[in-house]
Structure 1
């Protein structure tokens, strides 16, 4: 039987995001970044000092990725932007769905080739309104359509397998991809069938050994699966709507959460909803690469 660990971690940020998402650790600057999608803000936590800064945005950002020491890639409801770190200025890079104002971006991650996988969804999560895209040097390729809530985009350590899920159906998929480009080289198959389980399969990451770590929306949990998709263990968290994990080194994983959809009574009962946490898992980290312009 899989083991369950009660929360013995830390609260990295008590800034309560309506929809915390897109968390990533930048090893080059020892900084943890994440987005508050509905709050239109970019959060940064200096891991050395513990100082958090919050940067207001004119868009609903869901993905933040390193480009270089001066710039970052931002995925949002208005497409992709290059963010100037010093000024915060956003320069348009490319659109994902030109003319479609009914959608916004959601989960995404950079592949070791330097390309980006990113999903879109309806602003009100309409069935099948979204898609998953591959973006390489500004060229946008639609990979999968009729997606309701795209999540769990991550890649195996050898860069030859991609994972993704439509949280509405809760079947986490895997697909062979070209390690040199990040483009699919086969048809997706079911890796983890969570359709009969409680909670939603939200954001995921792969560790250096090919194990998958998933934030389980509604279950206050970070779930651990081995490379074959076998459920190993669960780490409980002090917020029910956990959204996205990121490795932060020394066996630790950071996890964002949300209070989206909770009424006043629900928020009172889930007081840490929207906070960002860390748990010690012993997992060997695999950090996201930089996006290549």
Structure 2
């Protein structure tokens, strides 16, 4: 199949795509507009939920509940009604920061990042949350992205997009906590395009959305570039494995910062796409609260 537009709802900052195989639904966020969007892969209209605050990620707890990451912390969402109940405050008193990238470790722990609302240098951090416990992992992060894990849970990845150095580190498979220090995995300093959101397939291939590059880059476990897949929008933001077999890739994008002239040259900016590539993906695990 050719690359198709999954949703033509243009987002100022489309992010956090997460697929729920139980309902065949892709969720994603327009962070700057404080809204969450959803669409069934089988078809139908895109539904929009106004949240009242910036949010960037969602994870399944069980058949009735979801965990939502917002600028004030973690919230429990009733999947049927959309009602949000505060669960754990994170940087809520700091009105200058918001949430950003996040991913569930195979054990059920959640890694997530915060950042300055104007991407101020060093204003953010990366946190670990598991069964009611919260720990700060990496402080002084400007733009946390590419949080993702190998299928066996023994390897974690993250990047500060402001620096464009993608790191890999050993991880405890049972808790999702780091083991040892991060090691450089991919160095894209000086390259056109930023390292944004990523996912790792069953073969250990990391699929990364290149902000400003209009593509998804696939990196082998040794950090070498395997291939690049074009995205029909310049500012690709984050991929997600979708479909019953998790063998497709959806990717979000953004219009943020584009002038009127740039938008005319990039007419699909901010839309969400289903890419023309078959992958050996996997579904996101449930988060343990």
Shorter-chain TM-score above 0.5: yes
Question: Contact 2:71–2:92 (CA<8 Å) still a contact in 1?
Answer: no
Which blocks of at least 5 consecutive residues in structure 1 are unaligned?
1-6
Deviation of 1:159 (Å): 0.4
Partner of 2:138: 144
Aligned ranges 1:76-225 → 2 under 5 Å: 76-225=70-219
Deviation of 1:98 (Å): 4.0
Secondary structure at 2:264 match in 1: helix
Tell me the distance in 1 between the aligned counterparts of 2:111 and 2:211: 21
Question: Contact 2:9–2:46 (CA<8 Å) still a contact in 1?
Answer: no
Secondary structure at 1:267 match in 2: helix
Deviation of 1:136 (Å): 1.0
Partner of 1:37: 31
Q: 2:51 matched to 1:64? A: no
Tell me the distance in 2 between the aligned counterparts of 1:200 and 1:106: 15
Partner of 1:233: 227
Which blocks of at least 5 consecutive residues in structure 2 are unaligned?
none
Deviation of 1:285 (Å): 1.0
Q: 2:241 matched to 1:247? A: yes
Deviation of 1:33 (Å): 0.7
Tell me the distance in 2 between the aligned counterparts of 1:90 and 1:18: 23
Q: How many aligned residue pairs are there?
A: 287
Question: Aligned-pair RMSD on alpha carbons?
Answer: 1.2
Deviation of 1:280 (Å): 2.9
Partner of 1:292: 288
Residue number among 65, 74, 78 corresponding to 2:68 in the alignment? 74
